[in-house]
Chain A
Amino acid sequence: MTPWAALASPRYLLSPWPWRGYAYLFSSVPVGVLTFAILIVSAALSIVLSPILIGVLLLTSFPLIGVAIGRVERWRAGLVLVDGIKTPHAAMPASLSVREKLKFRRREQASLRSVGYGFVLGVLVWPVSAAVAGLSATVLLITLGAPIIAANEQMGMGPWILDSAREGLIFLVAFGPPFFVVSSYLVGVVAGAEASLAKTMLGPRQDELQRNLAELRRSRLDLVDAFETERVRIERHLHDGVQQRLVGLTMTLGLAELDVPEGEGRRLVVKAHAEAEAALADLREAVRGIHPRVLVDHGLEAAVREVADRSPLPVTVQMALPSRLPSPIEAAAYFVVSEALANVGKHAQATHCEVAGWVDRRQLVITITDDGIGGARAGAGTGLTGLVTRLDALGGTLVIDSPPGGPTRLRMECPCRLGD
């Protein structure tokens, strides 16, 4: 709820909002005075000390003062803005040193804006707040105290002179409510205006908001990327190391089979050979689940065709992809297809499945359609949940349309370029 919405509400006068307005206006006085003092003293000091280095340093630290002002003021704005004001500053990588962080903040435009706001606060905002809130509070307090004050001494109120408790009470009853109404709305309007000013100057601009969003995406992307790199490394190790050794082993055993004479020894060698081959097959299956080599070497289409060929039911593949896509995107798409086909094989009771892929307005679109019984849901042990998270980090989506009775249609979309 914004202060404006609160003002428009019929229950405004009975709500805590007028009092929050008072708190906001009154609290601006000490903060404003202190801000003004700090800014003036810093400015004066840096001018006086400018011939020596420390003065220059002080001058360059002005944006940092702005950062501090912004912090206090955004916190204070919470009194009248329920959502508060979001920080306009960019998130910094944790790896930066303190020195680098300060340098980064100093250069941000938002820091300078906060300094500007500090001056406005110190010169204009707090005197206005003090005048409005002070006057309103004084009038209210005197009106409230009129019966007591008038009982003791004469009280001049405009054209009237009150000189008894009874007259004071009449004044309170007659003028108290209108004074309260007027002052409450006045305080509300001024507090709202000041908070809006603070939000405009201290809040993030549109581009800063977008930048923060982009940064968030970037850091998630880094995570996915690191994950992907690691998988490729593991795959390479298994492929070039373990798998080669196993092939070597089967060769040696194959040779041994020829040399060992018929009998128990021969039987054991043949058995060992079969076991080595089984291990090789298991390893190949495991490697495929980690990061298939054909994907690294030949890209998405070849890898999808390969997984389609291995599927127990007939799969038609129709792909029109330009060339290679960034590897995290290829990997995400591959695993979506692979998982989807596995699910079709397990649950759908389908007779046919179709995988299509194309690029539409810089979006990679992959659809997987089967003619099965439908009723598929993400998260119902389908293994698609993890893939949705992964796609999400790439800015992509996965939609499952699977009415009971079928058909089931999965549609994956993902921007073709990272960071889009």
Chain B
Amino acid sequence: MPTRRLSIVLAEDSLLLREGLASILDRAGHEVRDTVGDGDTLLAVVRKDPPDVVITDVRMPPGHSDEGLRAAAAIRAELPSIGILVLSQYVADAYLSSLLETTTGGIGYLLKDRVGHVAEFLESLERVADGGMVVDPEVVRQLLARRRNDGPLSALTPRELEVLALMAEGRVNASIAEQLVVSEAAVRKHVGNIFAKLQLDEGLDRRVSAVLTYLRG
């Protein structure tokens, strides 16, 4: 059960998915304050009364291209404290790169399939609400396949890369430790090394920055 009750604005043009999401969120004890079906309405509603988190589909009317994403970028620019969880029906570089341009605040990018795993989905939602970053494991896998060899990541050891990949999926240290079958202290050491090697900007949430560096390859 959630640690706190989040107020959420839901933007999704498919009635079926909107109802499904709303009932999941409702059951989890969150407040679905508004449901909208297009990017412009989303912006208007959020500006009028900012929620804790916005959940938005990428493609929405009228153009069915990336209206949700553009609305998300506008919200991020105006109201950076609002967490944004973007749902996409498929993995696309183009979506991801526009998301990665945001450097602070809670952001998430999940495939719609993920919503069916209710517990994990709700966990991701809370992480985004807390200012964390969540990227779909499938997206992480694809990015990993393409990583360049000469980037800042080349300084990291394979183990540190593994830890970073799990961080990108939005896992906390305890979960990473469990996954890699090591102690949490070992994970903390790896994370510290990663921060040092990537020479991260002190001003930002270093965990988010590390993940961003990772995802940009």
- Listed in ascending order, the chain A residues whose CB lies under 8 Å from chain B are 239-240, 243-245, 247-248, 250-255, 257-258, 273, 276-277, 280-281, 284, 293-294, 297-298, 302, 305-306, 308-310, 314
How many interface contacts (CB-CB < 8 Å) are there between A and B? 84
Residue numbers in A under 8 Å from B89 (CB-CB)? 239, 243, 247, 293
Contact A247 B116 (CB under 8 A): yes
Contact with A250, one of B27, B65, B113 (Cβ below 8 angstroms):
B113
Q: Shortest CB–CB separation between residue B88 and chain A, in angstroms? A: 10
Residue numbers in B under 8 Å from A245 (CB-CB)? 16
Residue B119 CB within 8 A of the other chain: yes
User: Would you call the interface of chain A mostly helix, strand, loop, or mixed?
Assistant: helix
Residue numbers in A under 8 Å from B32 (CB-CB)? none
Task: State which residues 11-25 of B face A: CB under 8 Å.
Answer: 14, 16-17, 19-21, 23-24
A273-B113 Cα distance, complex, nearest whole Å: 11
Q: Looking at A251, A253, A255, A306, which has the most chain B CB atoms within 10 Å of its CB? A: A251
Contact A251 B21 (CB under 8 A): yes
Contact A277 B92 (CB under 8 A): no
- 21 examples of A-B residue contacts, CB within 8 angstroms: A244-B14, A247-B16, A247-B112, A248-B19, A248-B20, A251-B115, A251-B116, A251-B118, A254-B24, A254-B117, A255-B23, A255-B24, A255-B27, A258-B27, A258-B119, A297-B59, A302-B93, A305-B146, A306-B91, A309-B143, A314-B145
Residue numbers in A under 8 Å from B117 (CB-CB)? 254
Residue B66 CB within 8 A of the other chain: yes
Contact B94 A257 (CB under 8 A): no
Q: Take A258-B27, A258-B118, A280-B113 as given contacts and tell me if A251 and B17 are in contact as well, using a CB distance cutoff of 8 Å.
A: yes
Which chain B residue lies CB-closest to A276? B116
Q: Shortest CB–CB separation between residue A329 and chain B, in angstroms? A: 19
A239-B115 Cα distance, complex, nearest whole Å: 17
Contact with A297, one of B14, B20, B92, B118 (Cβ below 8 angstroms):
B92
Contact with B66, one of A240, A257, A297, A306 (Cβ below 8 angstroms):
A297
- Listed in ascending order, the chain B residues whose CB lies under 8 Å from chain A are 14, 16-17, 19-21, 23-24, 27, 59, 65-66, 89-94, 112-113, 115-119, 121, 142-143, 145-146
Known interface pairs A277-B116, A305-B93; 18 further A-B residue pairs with C-beta atoms within 8 A, sorted by A's residue number: A244-B14, A244-B16, A248-B16, A250-B115, A251-B17, A251-B23, A251-B115, A254-B115, A254-B118, A280-B113, A294-B90, A297-B92, A298-B92, A305-B146, A306-B91, A309-B142, A309-B145, A310-B142
Contact B17 A244 (CB under 8 A): yes
Q: Looking at A248, A250, A255, A276, which has the most chain B CB atoms within 10 Å of its CB? A: A248
A253-B113 Cα distance, complex, nearest whole Å: 12
Which chain B residue lies CB-closest to A273? B116
Contact A306 B113 (CB under 8 A): no
Contact B24 A251 (CB under 8 A): yes
Residue numbers in A under 8 Å from B142 (CB-CB)? 306, 309-310
A276-B90 Cα distance, complex, nearest whole Å: 17
Residue numbers in A under 8 Å from B91 (CB-CB)? 306, 309
Q: Shortest CB–CB separation between residue A272 and chain B, in angstroms? A: 11
Residue numbers in A under 8 Å from B93 (CB-CB)? 298, 302, 305-306, 309
Residue numbers in B under 8 Å from A309 (CB-CB)? 91, 93, 142-143, 145-146
Q: Take A302-B92, A302-B93 as given contacts and tell me if A308 and B66 are in contact as well, using a CB distance cutoff of 8 Å.
A: no
A254-B89 Cα distance, complex, nearest whole Å: 18
Which chain A residue lies CB-closest to B23? A255
